[in-house]
Structure 1
Amino acid sequence: MMPLRTPWVLILLLWGAGLGAAAQYGKVSVIFDLLPMAYPDAGAAVGWIVSLVGFVGIVFGVVAGLVVARFRYRRALLVSLWVGAAVSVVQALLPPLPWMLASRVVEGASHLGLVVAAPTLIAQLSADKDRGLTLTLWGTFFGVAFGLLAFAGRPLALNFGLPALFLAHGAYMALFALILSAKLRALPAEDAPPELSVREMLRSHLTIYRSPFLSAPAIGWLFYTFSFVSILTVLPPYIAADSRAFVMTAMPLTSIAVSMTVGVGLLRVFSAVRVVELGFALSALAMVWLWLVPGGPPACLFLAASMGLMQGASFAAVPQLNQTPSAQAQANGAMAQMGNIGNTLGTPVMAFALVSGGYSVLPMLAGGAFVLGLIMHLLLGKIRRR
């Protein structure tokens, strides 16, 4: 039975837990240049401290959907928060590099549990009229968390040392685990939990990616994440120096603002998939603009606004296309997997292409990714209608 009212305090708490999950990535990203001081003999291996969380997501994203559905969403969320808190405390000790890397693998599992369980719970707890808004809010968790870490997390590490940042993150995760353990009630079981055999885990990949309902949000998310992070990484040198700082600060904020306003409004009129398709189409047009006017600030902001339509609508598409909590957990696990693949591949592919072909490759490659995302959504929609 769907709720008639949305428990907004609880939704905000789950979003807050999502900020902690995003910080599992961001806390290391914002201090990456400081890590060689803690591990002076590590060399290039320091990069693994950042990337191992994403690697776990690539390999085990779909498996996480099965595990969360098996152990139920409240339990999986709380365990993931407590594990995340404990790992951050261990990291505050700045253990030897092999142990630090091992902690990041464990943290990757904690991260997956959070990004699968939290949006599934948000979808189930939200009233039907508010689900587009609540899942769009969820879709902002990465951008907001990275902004907060850049604003407060890095200065904390610079002034008080790296352990202070890790301890602050551990305290944050523990606090939300305590609050949510008291506030969050287990949802009634609506379907039988899946098996956790190796055979079932392997078969689940085929099941998800053969289904135009389970896979659609994740397939679109792959092309979005491939483009978003890589564009923000490689675009700055092509923007005029006098407006570069403003544009790069405004782009993620514009994306979030459009997602929470225009995106939410469109979701009240159109299906989430249609809003994602519109975002892909407008983003492709924005890349044509950036091809004609390299690094133009208005074109950059139009691109950010267009990508904002994809941000929240992609998460809103999960419950619209998949009715049961276990199916939603599978779809969210696939989104985690595809998102990690997109984030991992996007920047190096884009950077290599720019070195090889110059600026003109940027709008061609990113625009091509947006067109492919649109085509895939249209094809999957056609298959669903059959």
Structure 2
Amino acid sequence: MILAVWAAGLGAAAQYGKISVIFGRMGELYPQAGTALSFSVSLVGMLGILLGAVAGPYAAAFGYRRTLVWALGAGAAVSALQALHLPFGLFLATRVAEGLSHLGIVVAGPVLIAQLSSDRGRGLAMTLWSTFFAVAFTVLAWFGLPLVRAWGLLALFAAHAAVMAGLAVLLGLALRAVPVPPRAPLPRLAELPGLHLPIYRSPWIAAPAAGWLFYTCCFVAVLTVIPPYIADDARGLVLGMMPLASIAVSMTLGVFLLRFLPGVRLAQLGFLACAAAALWLWAMPGAPLACIAMAGAMGLVQGGSFAAVPQLNETAVARAQASGAMAQMGNLGNTIGTPLMVLSLSAAGFGGMMAALLVLFLSGAAVHLLLAARRRGMA
């Protein structure tokens, strides 16, 4: 059951990845779009930035099983529409709608996984969930791109629709017998702005999201701006190895260390290891081992961050709020990370970009230190 919910996470990550992996060819579908094509990637995150933190209470009111199944069904319907080669304006509208489906999955999924797993296995289960983005991008590169070469760009949207629909049916049936927390009252629309304050004032609920902001500022940005500095003959291998290193480290070393360290400490350790790798890469620009080491260290951050959600929050409602805040901060980090790196690069060269990266990694470790001190003071 945990693997089935994790597969739903892969479908959610593919809502980003299905455009990212074919972005260089999107002009074939919409030749008149020009630079507006970039919105086909970023618009999915719009609702996550606006509504991520308040999605938790709505998922708690609607029911976590129902939220996950309906989000998968809606995602399938949107992908099926996209496979019809809509006009560009309508296509962008479907990408905004797809953001709501994405938000439902990434909020309800980790709550259900925490509910399904035992206390002893919860660290492993949450670490598995944390890999969904990296695994989805790898699967799309291995299977999605050959599908596109054989059947065209629209075939990828159709395949995604079929997978999401199959998961909706599978989980709709399989989750019926799974006990889930009782539903919470439905928040009123007028209460939405006020829902953010208690979430971000809580050093328990907000802690995973606070670190996640700095992680997501770096992950996509590193994969975007570092490649030109890697030697041509090694670039493809290194770029393929980086997400795999992140997955491998989180599922092996990360799971092992979670037996002895709480998730927050593991995330801090990962941030410090990332900072060390950044110094290595600063000294040796484009060094393949430094790039892979940085990606591996990021795996510790992602595993520790998701493991911290159930460790710091005992109730399902609090866990949903923490997952929603992570979705909000993750979308914000993905949005601002790459422009920030590009700005640093243009202003101060490679050294300026690496300095910005170093500051972000150290800030991720520091924010966890500050919030841990607040939790001790409020305990």
TM range (shorter): over 0.9
> C-alpha separation between the residues in 2 aligned to 1:264 and 1:255?
13
* Deviation for aligned residue 1:344: 0.8
Match of 2:301 among 284, 298, 310: 310
Is the counterpart of residue 332 in structure 1 residue 311 in structure 2? no
Range that drifts further, 183-192 or 331-340: 183-192
1:128 aligned counterpart, secondary structure: coil
Q: Percent identity?
A: 56
Is the counterpart of residue 101 in structure 1 residue 92 in structure 2? yes
Report the equivalent of 1:7. none
The 3 A distance-change label for structure 1 pair 189 and 157 is closer
Is the counterpart of residue 63 in structure 1 residue 69 in structure 2? no
Report the equivalent of 1:241. 232
Asked if the contact 1:277/1:377 (under 8 Å) is kept, the reply is: yes
May I ask how many residue pairs the two structures share in their alignment? 377
Asked if the contact 2:63/2:183 (under 8 Å) is kept, the reply is: no
Report the equivalent of 1:228. 219
Is the counterpart of residue 277 in structure 1 residue 249 in structure 2? no
Asked if the contact 2:65/2:175 (under 8 Å) is kept, the reply is: yes
* Deviation for aligned residue 1:192: 5.8
1:178 aligned counterpart, secondary structure: helix
Report the equivalent of 2:191. 200
State TM-score, norm by structure 1.
0.95
Is the counterpart of residue 361 in structure 1 residue 369 in structure 2? no
> C-alpha separation between the residues in 2 aligned to 1:192 and 1:143?
32
* Deviation for aligned residue 1:198: 2.4
2:184 aligned counterpart, secondary structure: coil
Asked if the contact 1:58/1:337 (under 8 Å) is kept, the reply is: yes
2:355 aligned counterpart, secondary structure: helix
State TM-score, norm by structure 2.
0.96
Report the equivalent of 2:158. 167
Read off the aligned partner of 1:76 and give its amino acid letter: T
> C-alpha separation between the residues in 1 aligned to 2:181 and 2:144?
40
Runs of 4+ displaced beyond 3 Å: 186-192
1:213 aligned counterpart, secondary structure: coil
Read off the aligned partner of 1:202 and give its amino acid letter: P
After TM superposition, list the pairs within 5 Å mapping 1:149-188 onto structure 2: 149-185=140-176, 188=179
Listed one character per residue, the Cα deviations across residues 126-176 of structure 1 (whole Å, up to 9, x for unaligned) are 001100101100111111111111121122123212221111111000111
> C-alpha separation between the residues in 2 aligned to 1:170 and 1:196?
31
Report the equivalent of 1:377. 368
Report the equivalent of 1:75. 66
> C-alpha separation between the residues in 2 aligned to 1:90 and 1:381?
46
* Deviation for aligned residue 1:367: 0.7
Asked if the contact 2:115/2:180 (under 8 Å) is kept, the reply is: no
> C-alpha separation between the residues in 2 aligned to 1:298 and 1:221?
24
Asked if the contact 1:74/1:186 (under 8 Å) is kept, the reply is: no
> C-alpha separation between the residues in 2 aligned to 1:26 and 1:190?
32
Asked if the contact 1:66/1:201 (under 8 Å) is kept, the reply is: no
* Deviation for aligned residue 1:121: 0.1
Asked if the contact 1:191/1:326 (under 8 Å) is kept, the reply is: no
Is the counterpart of residue 50 in structure 1 residue 50 in structure 2? no
Range that drifts further, 105-114 or 162-171: 162-171
Is the counterpart of residue 41 in structure 1 residue 32 in structure 2? yes
> C-alpha separation between the residues in 2 aligned to 1:19 and 1:309?
19
Listed one character per residue, the Cα deviations across residues 182-231 of structure 1 (whole Å, up to 9, x for unaligned) are 11136556466143212322111111111100100001000001011101
Report the equivalent of 2:76. 85
Q: Mark the runs of 5 or more structure 1 residues left unpaired by the alignment.
A: 1-9
> C-alpha separation between the residues in 2 aligned to 1:296 and 1:160?
37
> C-alpha separation between the residues in 1 aligned to 2:93 and 2:234?
41
> C-alpha separation between the residues in 2 aligned to 1:268 and 1:194?
36
Range that drifts further, 71-80 or 352-361: 352-361
> C-alpha separation between the residues in 1 aligned to 2:111 and 2:358?
31
> C-alpha separation between the residues in 2 aligned to 1:367 and 1:291?
10
Q: Mark the runs of 5 or more structure 2 residues left unpaired by the alignment.
A: none
Is the counterpart of residue 126 in structure 1 residue 121 in structure 2? no
Asked if the contact 1:20/1:145 (under 8 Å) is kept, the reply is: yes
Listed one character per residue, the Cα deviations across residues 11-56 of structure 1 (whole Å, up to 9, x for unaligned) are 0001111111111111111111222221122222222111110112
Asked if the contact 1:58/1:340 (under 8 Å) is kept, the reply is: yes
After TM superposition, list the pairs within 5 Å mapping 1:132-143 onto structure 2: 132-143=123-134
Read off the aligned partner of 1:193 and give its amino acid letter: A
Read off the aligned partner of 2:357 and give its amino acid letter: A
TM-align CA RMSD: 1.3
> C-alpha separation between the residues in 2 aligned to 1:165 and 1:24?
11
